[in-house]
Amino acid sequence: MKNIISVLIFSGMVGMMACSCDGFLDEKLKGDYSSDNFYSSQEQAELAVNAVYNSLYNNTLWIFGDVASDDAVKGGNAGDQADINDIDDFSATSDNGCLSTFWQDTYETISRANNVIANVPGVDMDESMADRLMGEARFLRAYSYFNLVNIFGKVPLKLDPQVSEDKIDIPLSSVSDVYARIDDDLKYAAGVLPVSYASEAGRATKGAAFALLAKSKLFQQDYDGCLSYIDSIEKLNVYSLVKNYSDLFKAGSEDSTETVFSIRYINDSNASLGNNLNVWFSPSEEGGYYFDAPTQAYVNCFTEKTAAGATDPRLDASIGRDGHPWFNNTTFSSDWSEATGYLVKKYDEDLSDTYAKSQSTVPQYIIRYAEVILMKAEALNEDGEPEKAAVEVDKVRSRAGLAPTKAADQNSLREIIRNERRKELGFEFHRFFDVMRYGKTYAQSVLGSGLKWDDTRFYFPIPQAEKETNKALQ
């Protein structure tokens, strides 16, 4: 994270015990810190929170947000990363490597956050700083559970450091209980986090907590709750849309007025601190692996021309397509993507030969203000106020040069709002979550009638490794 994370630090295992088998491994850890001597100062508490942010760099959310949706296919070489194909066609079983990796990485974030939440209150430090650090940890834990509950449904709700068997073996919690914990964490975070930071930009803020709360309420179909938290965001008076959409996906854009929360990167000798999505999504001509290939279905949703008769500028800002400008004064070729003829453009950066491709500093947005506006439009429309909803969605359309919507009723405006989310937030890893919450009829219309539906939606299976090690799972 730019300005707050400069080195990869401890792995989040502080506070954990290996086992209690007749003294085996009972000897204290060797090295600078152990569970006995860490969390003894404000500086160490801040390091612990930084470690929670660091864990966000292990990012495979695109496999679920994009590839599992109708916006993208796996891409890359046909035989490479076969497990992603199983996510793409919904045939993944519990031994799928992508499921296991995402599960482990996300619970690593949760584990680090839990250690902060359990230990910071006991540190002799400034009380307001302690509250802030707790708020950051609880925001990041809530964000992690938000992703888990939308991919797996029922998941173990682990809220304490894993220092004993009863803290490790946690049963599945219902979807409603997971959302209740998400909301509780975010309410706490919103109460203690600052609106902004004089330095160390990139940390979670009050606005970020309100925005994720609004999104949580939207996904639970609590439209009044969603609108209430959006009202809280608006009263902060710190966010607005930037003028040019394409400017959002350039180095330095993380500090724009549209950024509510993003994963930030730095370009230095430590490649793990750069945005490696630049490698995963770029063409082989640039040293990339050309995964996450956009579909023709995504391109086809850009049928509406601007008021000036041009193509919606969000299309070419989001993807590369044949004959259109790319980077380094080159023209994109469909031959660069054998899967679909298209590639993601949002995370590509024109880097000199001095730096590796993985050193991109283009941010990964978690929440942009444009999404907040679209959430407000959706909530208003579902609450039976399409006229007010149209005013909001037109704010996003206007930036793209589109004429005001002429939708006069709730049903037609609903489709416009959904299409605007798809165009505006394409390849920011939201689409699969949206398709699922829109319901069975919509999901099967875009993903195929053969999609298996479990009660309210489709969920991926819990990884086999969790089933084998968590004795509380049924």
User: Do residues 43 and 121 both lie within one domain?
Assistant: yes
Whether the CA torsion 412, 414, 418, 421 is positive or negative: it is positive
Please indicate, yes or no, if residue 402 is contained in any of the structural domains: no
Euclidean distance between CA atoms 165 and 186, whole angstroms: 28
End position of a domain, from candidates 204, 227, 249: 204
What's the pLDDT at 270?
A: 64
Residue 43: exposed, middle, or buried by beta-carbon count in 10 A (0-12, 13-18, 19+)? Answer: exposed
Euclidean distance between CA atoms 289 and 87, whole angstroms: 18
Please indicate, yes or no, if residue 119 is contained in any of the structural domains: yes
User: Do residues 149 and 42 both lie within one domain?
Assistant: yes
pTM for the model = 0.92
End position of a domain, from candidates 156, 187, 204: 204
User: Do residues 66 and 168 both lie within one domain?
Assistant: yes
User: Do residues 10 and 153 both lie within one domain?
Assistant: yes
User: Do residues 188 and 279 both lie within one domain?
Assistant: no
User: Do residues 171 and 293 both lie within one domain?
Assistant: no
What's the pLDDT at 24?
A: 34
User: Do residues 83 and 173 both lie within one domain?
Assistant: yes
User: Do residues 192 and 286 both lie within one domain?
Assistant: no
3 state SS of 320: strand
Going by the DSSP 8-state scheme, the letter that residue 263 receives in this structure is E
User: Do residues 116 and 8 both lie within one domain?
Assistant: yes
Long-range contacts of 88-95 (CB under 8 A, 24+ apart): 90/447, 90/451, 90/452, 90/458, 92/460, 92/461, 93/461, 94/461, 94/462, 94/463, 94/464, 94/467, 95/463, 95/464
- Domain of 158, CATH number, reads 1.25.40.390
| N residues, the chain | 474
User: Do residues 115 and 190 both lie within one domain?
Assistant: yes
User: Do residues 2 and 149 both lie within one domain?
Assistant: yes
User: Do residues 154 and 6 both lie within one domain?
Assistant: yes
Q: What total of structural domains would you count in the chain?
A: 2
Please indicate, yes or no, if residue 440 is contained in any of the structural domains: no
Please indicate, yes or no, if residue 190 is contained in any of the structural domains: yes
Tens-place pLDDT, residues 354-378: 457 778 889 999 999 999 999 999 9
What's the pLDDT at 35?
A: 56
What's the pLDDT at 267?
A: 78
Are 333 and 320 contacting, i.e. CB atoms less than 8 angstroms apart? no
Q: Note down pLDDT in tens along the chain; length 474 residues.
A: 434 443 333 333 333 333 333 333 344 444 455 556 789 899 999 999 999 999 998 889 999 999 999 999 999 998 899 999 999 999 999 999 999 999 999 999 999 999 999 999 999 999 999 999 999 999 999 999 999 999 999 999 999 998 888 888 999 999 999 999 999 999 999 999 999 999 888 999 999 999 999 999 999 999 999 999 999 999 999 999 999 999 999 988 999 999 999 999 887 766 667 888 999 999 998 888 999 999 999 999 999 999 999 999 999 999 999 999 998 889 999 999 999 999 999 998 876 544 577 788 899 999 999 999 999 999 999 999 999 999 999 999 999 999 999 888 999 999 999 999 999 999 999 999 999 999 999 999 999 877 888 778 899 999 999 999 999 997
Euclidean distance between CA atoms 315 and 220, whole angstroms: 30
What's the pLDDT at 271?
A: 60
Please indicate, yes or no, if residue 391 is contained in any of the structural domains: no
End position of a domain, from candidates 318, 340, 359: 359
Please indicate, yes or no, if residue 145 is contained in any of the structural domains: yes
Please indicate, yes or no, if residue 48 is contained in any of the structural domains: yes
Please indicate, yes or no, if residue 443 is contained in any of the structural domains: no
Tokens of 96: 């799928």
Query: Which residue segment(s) compose the domain that 77 sits in?
Result: 1-19+38-204
